[in-house]
Amino acid sequence: MSGDAGDAAKRSSSRDENTEKPETPGTGAGGASGPTGASNPGSAGTAFGPQEIARRDVSGSAAGRAREGMFGIQGSGDTSGFGGLRLPGYAPAPAERPYGGWFDEVADEAAAALADDGGADFDTCVHQVTVDRGEMTWYVDREHLVRLARTLRDDPALRFEFCSGVSGVDYGEGVPQQLHVVTHLLSMTYRRRLRLEIALELDDARCPSLVDIYPTADWHERETWDMFGVVFEGHPSLTRILMPDDWNGHPQLKSYPLGGIPVEYHDAEIPPPDQRRAYT
């Protein structure tokens, strides 16, 4: 769709101008793409603007746990040297202008439309823009989600008339604002796709509902409630959808066990998948 779009932008990691932001781990197997690739030293001159925003963003868009050691082995004598590895948690790098392709146009139009109706401006609604692998993600403040979505849907220059889906992501314990609600929007008029992401604390998992704007969000939000326990405020009937009505817990949370049982083959016992050795 937009292979050339974010090529320059996604490499403009703000690593060197923002020392407080954890570095992205260079664990790429393919190695070629992603925000871990290269940094852009050219924009280090800007004194506070981007730096301020980037510093605030780390909690809102953190997307990975810091790691120590390797192979998930703890408490044994380390003879390999891998036990000393320290990898900081991953956080998607904020993109810098120009984002490339139509990304700038959408951001400009949204900013203009939001300014027109007199509410909070674009930078307040969207606290980080990330362009990664040719896809644009906006990290949105939940207070402004509904207004932003309405603008995106109704503005003639934006026309994101189609909501492709809403789902959740649990980044696991130890990540600030570990619960994310991800909304995929599609503009059939302009053939563009946009991802809205809201970061939530696990003990304050509340998010405004988009059902008024995109009726299709109904079941998606029910599923996200069912699987992650995110309360969508304003949803007409937020009930469980996949699990039975009287189920306890929200299965897609990382803290919820998979519930596998060990399997025996002849003399060997194979542990359930969630208890097998993980290499990450």
Partner 1 sequence: MTTSDQTTQDPYAATSRETTEGTVYTVTGGDWDEMVDQTAGDERIVINMGPQHPSTHGVLRLVLELQGEVVTDARLVIGYLHTGIEKNCEYRTWTQGVTFVTRADYLAPLFNETAYCLSTERLLGVEVPERAATIRVLLMEINRIGSHLVALATGGMELGALTGMTNGFREREEVLHLLEFLTGLRMNHAFVRPGGVVQDLPEGYEERIRSFVEVMRGRLPGFHKLLTGNRIWRQRLEGVGYLPLDGCLALGVTGPILRSAGLAWDLRQVEPYLGYEHYEFEVPTDTAADSFARYLLRVEEMSQSLRIIEQALERLEPGPVMVEDAKIAWPARLSIGADGMGNSLEHVRRIMGQSMESLIHHFKLVTEGFKVPAGQACVPIESPRGELSAHLVSDGGTRPLRVHLRDPSFVNLQAAPAMSEGGMVSDVIAALASLDPVMGGCDR
Sites of contact with partner 1 (CB under 8 A): 1, 24-25, 27-36, 63-65, 87, 90, 92, 132-135, 137, 161-165, 167, 169-172, 182, 184, 188, 191, 193, 195, 214-216, 218-220, 223, 227, 240-244, 251-252, 258, 260, 273-274, 276, 278-280
Nearer to partner 1, 84 or 172 (CB): 172
Q: How far is CA 90 from the centre of its chain?
A: 11
DSSP 8-state class, residue 43: G
CB of 235 to partner 1, least distance (A): 14
Of 200, 199, 32, 202, the C-alpha closest to 130 is 199
CB of 232 to partner 1, least distance (A): 15
CB of 249 to partner 1, least distance (A): 12
CB of 71 to partner 1, least distance (A): 9
Nearer to partner 1, 102 or 162 (CB): 162
CB of 275 to partner 1, least distance (A): 9
CB of 262 to partner 1, least distance (A): 14
Of 15, 27, 29, the C-alpha closest to 67 is 27
Please state whether beta strands 126-132 and 231-233 pair in parallel, antiparallel, or not at all (unpaired).
Answer: unpaired
- Measure the CA dihedral 184/187/190/193, to 10°: 0
Nearer to partner 1, 121 or 247 (CB): 247
Nearer to partner 1, 83 or 251 (CB): 251
Nearer to partner 1, 18 or 24 (CB): 24
* b/e 15-38 (16+ beta carbons within 10 angstroms → b): bebbeebbbbbeeeeeeeebbbee
Nearer to partner 1, 56 or 133 (CB): 133
Q: Please report, as a single letter, which amino acid is at residue 72.
A: G
14's CB contacts (< 8 A; 6+ apart) are: 21, 39, 40, 43, 50, 51, 54, 93, 94, 96
End-to-end CA distance of the chain: 32
